[in-house]
Structure 1
Amino acid sequence: MRPLNVLSVASEVFPIIKTGGLADVAGALPSALAEEGVTVVTLMPGYPAVLNALENAETLHQYPAFFGGTARLLSGRAGGLDLFVIDAPHLFERPGSPYLAPNGRDWPDNARRFAALGRAAADIGQGLVPGFIPDIVHAHDWQAALVPVYLSLTGQPRPGTVVTIHNIAFQGIFPADLLFELGLPASIFTVDGVEYYGQIGFLKGGLQLADRITTVSPTYAKEIQTPEGGMALDGLLRARSGIVSGILNGIDDKVWDPATDQHLALTYDRGSLERRAANKRALQDRLGLKPDPDALLFGVVSRLSEQKGLDLVLAGLSRLLSEGAQLALLGAGDRTLEESFQTARVVYPGQVGCVIGYDEKLAHQIQGGSDALLVPSRFEPCGLTQLCAMRYGSIPVVSRVGGLADTIIDANEMAIANGAATGFQFGPVTFGAALDAIDRVKHLWRDKDAWHRLQANGMGADLSWHRPARQYADLYRSLRAV
């Protein structure tokens, strides 16, 4: 088959810059696609961290006027990836996260910043870089979703377009009076374009005009076509259901490998699970927990938000910690939840340990040292922490939604008997159902042989990007054939 050129467009890419799972996907998928005969170059904004990491930078194009200032399109490599980078200091040279100012609020010019990302991607799609003409432009989330919009306005032959929804709750909605500032004509401000309840909808416009729409699990693809899960875009998605599909994420099995992970106190594999005990002790020491090898240690690695269901953990904390159980938490987000977990650490000394913020090393240590990992999300497009937990022998305890439902096989009696179970599911996402799941976990914890079988089942699963990459490659090729 003729090789495919794909331009991937993402606002964050691991290991260069990361705030969530989007970065993991954008960082891991290109190398997996290479094995499928797909060449990927990733376009991303020139944040300071990106420009500092960029190797062999070369200027490909100069923009004398680009959304409020001069800009350059650069090429180079960073983090093992081939990149195009938008060097636009007036848009991206600033402190804070990619999306938020140091005060925790959205940058007020996010519309211009990410319209610039879409505009540059469309230019590359139209041949701006002669040495790389993409067959497909793959836009990730609302920050890149204007790509199909800009390409639709050219009136010229264009590459195929794919928009992937990583979380439909984040849509990029901005005032209508920015239309012309973003280089969009009045003709596109319609229900069939970017108009969204009188405002400009970046994601809405992308979903309306993309050739294909994907999301990150089959169950989430169904959920977002319902009023309960579609965040007011369900009607559009139902109308375009013929081009909507769900492709499960994988994890980078080189980064997430307990046999080689240098973040751990002691490496191990499926055949040496007894070595996990050293990691449990190291995690207990790190977080000030009682050094008890027999305590059931629950882990959490999560954004702290209502979506993630961490309020359920707080509400059921006394039941969770009964019988000497422990909790190790890493996360940041909602200020009230942050303060509540910090208070819990004081109220339950030696049983609750928490670090507010993000620490990649500690994330690996929680996966390698916890006995079970809690993911009680109210909705979850795919989820990566439960996949990492399986890989590391930490038993996932998840709500039955989205990708959590698709990736974890519940430890019911039949699944345990058949040797298929990999974790615990509960539903609906309520306080009572969550507590029932905790009781089931504690019951199985007493049966060490059954517990070890669950660990071995999870660690033996193929959680890599190989199968998802093949599905994306097939999708790209079907689109090129249209």
Structure 2
Amino acid sequence: MRVLQVSAEIFPLLKTGGLADVAGALPGALARAGAEVRVLLPGFPALLQGLSNAATVAEFHAPWGEPARLLFGQLPALDGLPAYVVDAPALYDRPGNPYQQDDGWPYADNHRRFALLGFAAARLAEGLDGWWAPQVVHSHDWHAALANAYIALSPHWPPVRTVYTVHNLAYQGLCAPQHLAELGLPPSAFGVEGVEFHGQISFMKAGLFYADHVTTVSPSYAREIQTPEQGCGLEGLLRWRASQGQLSGILNGVDRAVWDPAADLNIARRYDASKMAGKAHCRTALQKEMGLEVRPGPVFGMVSRLAEQKGLPLLVALLPELVKRGGQLVTLGSGDAAIEAALREAAAAHPEAVAIRVGYDEALAHRIFAGSDVILVPSLYEPCGLTQLYGLRYGALPLVRRVGGLADTVVDCSLENLAEYKATGFVFETFDAGDMLRALRRAFALFARQSDWKTVQKRAMAQHFGWDDAAEQYLALYRALAA
């Protein structure tokens, strides 16, 4: 089974969020399951630099006439994964964030930059590389979504099936309708049965409408996006795809080669579920690194975008209570200026208990998971969430809201679940500070009972959310579509 994975970023070469972790781990898992996998990436500087043995496969033109080259080589950082990279310097050769300018505004030509990625995928499906053609094109999130429209509307009828994965429905890749012809789409595509969304072109809708099958990154999220609350205006289309058996949820996994406390070179001391002394050492090391007082109360960690979606307003509201009860907080992330300012203010008022590091630091993220007792993921919505999975892996019990993939992966420390040896974290229902406070109180109460805490901690670390399970489900889907 020849599979082309199409994504805008891939770990460890370029990462702005969980999409990169998925794009970096899934191809290897599919290969282990028996698929012949190649990836297609845009020519961002970090991705071009990560490509070895690069050779030009073909030269082609975008629908609006801009020239581009399709390069092929291997990615040594991903065990030599075969990769195509679209080389178009005028579109991709820009420093910093791949999606936006330094002032935070998206690039004005993002519609061209990511249409070209989808167009290259369609050209590969049509045989642009005379030596290899995919049987399945699997595109990820709005950046690659137009591949599905180009393939479905191709006059060449390429013999390929398409899968489109929604990582976050809220980011839809919208652009003005006057770009339709420029993108090489026929007038008939601009309609309810097409890419039109409230008078604009939606890359996301192109994937949802034109792909042979749509997946999301957790079973719960697949159900939730069929509702007005989380459907972002696309719930009707999603309900229709589900009624046709063309929408499913496949839970993301953890790359156990990257996230393994027993082998992690980023942390102060390695450990596993049978030898937990190293975690206590990591905890002390994290307190010292972040300038916190070395003391015995629970350390809460948060590695996240600083945004309402991630539940930061709830955390800010509860910070005084967390500190009052003897807890400490370490946060790593960036985003909303007001939230960032509130966290900085709390850190200035309580330097012994609250620390914030603005930006993203992959190595520090590992140290936060290793040194924290609790990982906070109190999201308003969460398609899958990888943070709670990393927390489970590192024995940092997740405190989460029961939504999306968080609901699928964390079991609350209720009395019944503790008695039945099922508990792995702390779960609250309503996006409300009072409800989250009750979960926070359960975390403090369990931490005071260290024998029970360690039992839950070992159970959390024993959870298996590997990519091999997800890869088998994807491969079964590919085979069913190809058949």
TM-score range normalised by the length of the shorter chain: over 0.9
Distance in 2 of aligned mates of 1:314 and 1:197: 35
Q: How many residue pairs were aligned?
A: 477
Task: Look up the match of 1:308.
Answer: 310
Give 1:287-366 correspondences, 5 Å limit. Answer: 287-292=290-295, 294-366=296-368
Distance in 2 of aligned mates of 1:205 and 1:164: 12
Q: 1:29-51: CA deviations, max 9, x gaps?
A: 01111121111111010001111
* Residue 151 (structure 2) pairs with residue 164 (structure 1): no
Q: Structure 2 length normalisation: TM-score?
A: 0.97
The offset of 1:131, in angstroms, is: 1.8
Task: Look up the match of 2:432.
Answer: 430
Task: Look up the match of 2:153.
Answer: 153
SS in 2 for 1:355: strand
Task: Look up the match of 2:455.
Answer: 453
Distance 1:65 1:29, change over 3 A: closer
Task: Look up the match of 2:49.
Answer: 52
Distance in 1 of aligned mates of 2:98 and 2:131: 29
Could you list the runs of 5+ residues in structure 1 that have no partner in the other structure? none
The offset of 1:323, in angstroms, is: 2.7
Distance 1:51 1:116, change over 3 A: same
CA contact (8 A) 1:67 1:116 kept: no
Task: Look up the match of 1:211.
Answer: 212
The offset of 1:189, in angstroms, is: 1.1
Task: Look up the match of 1:186.
Answer: 187
Give identity over the alignment, percent.
Answer: 49
Paired amino acid for 2:168: N
Distance 1:65 1:475, change over 3 A: closer
* Residue 442 (structure 2) pairs with residue 440 (structure 1): yes
Q: 1:248-276: CA deviations, max 9, x gaps?
A: 00010010000010001100001111221
Task: Look up the match of 2:132.
Answer: 132
The offset of 1:77, in angstroms, is: 1.4
Distance in 2 of aligned mates of 1:439 and 1:403: 23
The offset of 1:450, in angstroms, is: 0.8
CA contact (8 A) 1:69 1:90 kept: no
CA contact (8 A) 1:68 1:90 kept: no
Paired amino acid for 1:77: Q
The offset of 1:64, in angstroms, is: 5.0
Distance in 1 of aligned mates of 2:232 and 2:65: 32
Paired amino acid for 2:375: L
Distance in 2 of aligned mates of 1:117 and 1:433: 43
Paired amino acid for 2:409: T
Range 299-308 or range 157-166, more displaced: 157-166
The offset of 1:6, in angstroms, is: 0.5
Task: Look up the match of 2:14.
Answer: 17
The offset of 1:63, in angstroms, is: 2.1
SS in 1 for 2:108: coil
Could you list the runs of 5+ residues in structure 2 that have no partner in the other structure? none
The offset of 1:157, in angstroms, is: 3.5
Distance in 1 of aligned mates of 2:54 and 2:253: 30
- From 52, 55, 60, give the equivalent of 1:63: 60
* Residue 277 (structure 2) pairs with residue 280 (structure 1): no
The offset of 1:130, in angstroms, is: 2.0
The offset of 1:126, in angstroms, is: 1.0
Q: 1:313-333: CA deviations, max 9, x gaps?
A: 101111111232100110111
Task: Look up the match of 1:266.
Answer: 269
The offset of 1:69, in angstroms, is: 3.1
The offset of 1:96, in angstroms, is: 2.3
The offset of 1:461, in angstroms, is: 1.1
The offset of 1:70, in angstroms, is: 2.2
Distance 1:64 1:477, change over 3 A: closer
Task: Look up the match of 1:369.
Answer: 371
Distance 1:374 1:440, change over 3 A: same
CA RMSD in angstroms comes to 1.0
SS in 2 for 1:167: coil
Distance 1:272 1:91, change over 3 A: same
Distance in 1 of aligned mates of 2:47 and 2:284: 36
Distance in 2 of aligned mates of 1:357 and 1:157: 43
The offset of 1:339, in angstroms, is: 1.4
Paired amino acid for 2:271: Y
Give 1:98-137 correspondences, 5 Å limit. Answer: 98-137=98-137
SS in 2 for 1:19: coil
Task: Look up the match of 1:142.
Answer: 142
SS in 1 for 2:370: helix
The offset of 1:65, in angstroms, is: 5.6
Q: Structure 1 length normalisation: TM-score?
A: 0.98
Distance 1:415 1:179, change over 3 A: same
The offset of 1:66, in angstroms, is: 6.1
- From 418, 421, 434, give the equivalent of 1:419: 421
Distance in 2 of aligned mates of 1:178 and 1:64: 17
CA contact (8 A) 1:6 1:134 kept: yes
Task: Look up the match of 1:74.
Answer: 71
Distance in 1 of aligned mates of 2:362 and 2:65: 35
Range 73-82 or range 467-476, more displaced: 73-82
Distance in 2 of aligned mates of 1:83 and 1:263: 28
CA contact (8 A) 1:220 1:382 kept: yes
CA contact (8 A) 2:63 2:182 kept: no
CA contact (8 A) 2:151 2:158 kept: no
CA contact (8 A) 1:216 1:247 kept: yes
SS in 1 for 2:127: coil
Q: 1:7-56: CA deviations, max 9, x gaps?
A: 00001111110000000001000111112111111101000111111110
Task: Look up the match of 2:397.
Answer: 395
Task: Look up the match of 2:250.
Answer: 247
